[in-house]
Chain A
Amino acid sequence: MYGYNGNILRVNLTDGTWKTEELDLEMAKKFIGGRGLGTKMMMDEVDPKVDPLSPENKLFVVTGPMTGNPVATGGRYMVVTKSPLSNTIASSNSGGKWGAELKFAGWDIIAFEGKSEEPVYLSIEDDKVELLSAADLWGTTVSNTTKKLEEKHEKGCKVLAIGPGGENLSHIAAIMNDEDRAAGRSGVGAVMGSKNLKAIVVKGSGKPEVPDQDRIKELNKKQLAKIKENGVTGEGLPTYGTAVLVNILNELGSLPTNNFQVSQFEKADDISGETLADKYLIKRTACYRCPIGCGRYVKSGDWEGGGPEYETLWSFGSDCGINDMDSIIMANHWCNEMGLDTISAGATIAAAIELHQRGYIKDDELDGLELEFGNGTDIAEWVKRMGYGQGLGAKMAQGSYRLTDGYGAPELSMTVKKLEMPAYDPRGIMGIGLNYATSNRGGCHVRGYTISPEILGLPEQLDRFETKAKPTWVKIFQDLTAAIDSLGVCLFTSFALGADDYAEMYNVIAGTDFTGNDILAIGDRIYNIEKQFNLLAGVTSAEDTLPKRLLVDPIPEGPSKGWVNKLDEMLGEYYKERGWGEDGIPTEAKLKELGL
């Protein structure tokens, strides 16, 4: 079978050894790779009740069959483990060039087990694998770690690393690669930190074998044309990046503002994609083999580097009531340096501001820093304190749920399963609320991005306030996304491509014979195994819900005024769509049908 190298690198950090294992290709076909295969391995090898930060938890770095192969955006990888933030399965996706390099080195998956006594990093040059001391890297920022390793290792090597956030076991720590690309969500960086593993540097000299060059050429011609012709992938994302959504969501009155207290931000245009493009953008950047190039390289004052995404402009922007673009750019930069998830970091600051506003956090806890809605002066400093675990920053580094709960006000945490929700107020967009509530990793938009039909009109326009048919849409989007995340391509291609296109991609590269429906069925299988993991971990379907604020307090003003999310109208129907019982648990029959 093509598409895979057929090699798993298993590293035991406790005794400092490693070995090669053969990838079971039959299993790979059932779960594709990336998110699906990683979750299957977690299920087979790890007790779901494991303490996420204990040596018994494992960390899988998993490519997909498209990673490193000549298809559009074929460079992505997934980190799969158990999340310390949500206690659910965690699978965080990242782009850049690192994932493809791992494939060039001849590996599909790295499985980390145990815990090293001293800080170490893993060096891979094809089949030369070494665990080396990271004593001089520990405590350093992501960019410094990256530069030091690049200097020390072979030219063209790629670096994945955690920052101080992961080292200090921040529950919202990310794993970074190529300096500013992030496997951001669910605190995967803390799991890496708990194993005393600072970085993975990789250099590969091979290329995966492909079956039929002519068919690949034809496939690329067709799919690149679709990506180019599509308004979003061909023009919107290249020109403005994801940030263009700020003004759209604001015009709809569904841009969460001041920790979801209101849903419209008067100064939204100051933090919009348009402003970013006009005043800050130097050039766009792209991940491996990506024709879209949604990345932003920006300049703010004397500093230049990777710029904020939509979610980050929101989390540090309107969610904190802040319209100061320069402060947001620096907060984003320091998240990258500390290795923190920008969504959770910004949303946790927003929750901290509300705690302060309501008198839970007292002035004497602030060490003289500002912490109020609309004031961006110190947000970058708060990010650093979260990363280094200093003062109030140490409490904030555990995410908004643990922070607010510590002050006796967990209702101020805008999370699902303790993961901070992103930048779409589900009171004004029903389907995305159902997706947040049922996402297997908690409050996440990229598990089932129904914003596409509900807001962007792709592939067709749905009424955002309507609940009917939303369970069907949510399920299809969740299943397709699970498959895309497993293939090793970027979810953004799905603005232009559908299930049949992904099946064709898989068939041409791996020599399989799948239809679009097969791809959706694999996605369904992945979704169910994730759910099973969560149930065994003790995360019950009672947590398939939204914060009370979104179910009970109507949006106070603007175009979505008066709406709450009507989750109760959709959830039962969704379980039915999934073939689950009314209790939200997959039935025996369903699991059997999926071969689980």
Chain B
Amino acid sequence: MIKIEVRYFATLRIDDKKKETLEIQEDISVESLLEQIGVALEDVAILLVNGIRTSPEYKLKDGDVMSLFPPVGGG
């Protein structure tokens, strides 16, 4: 098992849950994890792992921090 942190932003922040630490199985992909935590991949416009844009196929590693944003913008 590995430990990762998930951070939720904007409309993906439900009931004021800003972040959580999860213990998950090694080698699980971002896509599968999103499914497990009930976040639809199509609702995520910006997907970062450790601050870097990452694809849903990425296999999470111990200590990773995943940040999830819906489509947002500004200037």
Q: Which residues of A contact B (CB under 8 A)?
A: 230-233, 235-237, 239-245, 247-248, 251-253, 269, 273-274, 278, 294, 309-311, 445-446, 449, 451-452, 455-458, 461, 463-464, 491-492, 495, 558-560
Are B73 and A237 in touch, CB under 8 angstroms?
yes
Q: Would you give the shortest CB distance from B72 to chain A, in whole angstroms?
A: 4
Contacts of B13 in A (CB 8 A): 274
Given contacts A235-B11, A244-B10, A274-B13, contact A251 B48 (CB under 8 A): yes
Alpha-carbon distance between A559 and B7 when the two chains are bound, in angstroms: 15
B-side binding surface: helix, strand, loop or mixed?
Answer: loop
Are A240 and B7 in touch, CB under 8 angstroms?
no
Given contacts A235-B11, A251-B7, contact A558 B75 (CB under 8 A): no
**Of all chain B residues, which has the CB nearest A456?**
B73
Size of the B side of the interface (Cβ < 8 Å), in residues, is 22
Q: Which residues of B contact A (CB under 8 A)?
A: 7, 9-11, 13, 16, 18, 45-46, 48, 50-53, 67, 69-75
Contacts of B69 in A (CB 8 A): 247-248
Given contacts A244-B10, A456-B46, A457-B46, contact A559 B52 (CB under 8 A): yes
Q: A495 touches which one: B51, B53, B73 (CB < 8 A)? A: B73
Alpha-carbon distance between A57 and B69 when the two chains are bound, in angstroms: 46
Given contacts A239-B11, A558-B51, contact A251 B71 (CB under 8 A): no
**Of all chain B residues, which has the CB nearest A309?**
B74
**Of all chain B residues, which has the CB nearest A277?**
B10
Q: Would you give the shortest CB distance from A437 to chain B, in whole angstroms?
A: 18
Q: Would you give the shortest CB distance from A378 to chain B, in whole angstroms?
A: 28
Contacts of A278 in B (CB 8 A): 16
Are B51 and A251 in touch, CB under 8 angstroms?
yes
Q: Would you give the shortest CB distance from B58 to chain A, in whole angstroms?
A: 14
Contacts of A457 in B (CB 8 A): 45-46, 53
Provide 20 A-B residue pairs closer than 8 Å at the C-beta atoms, listed in order of the A residue. A231-B71, A232-B71, A236-B10, A237-B73, A242-B73, A243-B74, A245-B74, A247-B9, A248-B46, A251-B67, A274-B13, A294-B74, A310-B75, A311-B75, A452-B73, A458-B73, A491-B75, A492-B75, A559-B50, A559-B51
**Of all chain A residues, which has the CB nearest B68?**
A251
Q: B48 touches which one: A252, A273, A274, A294 (CB < 8 A)? A: A252
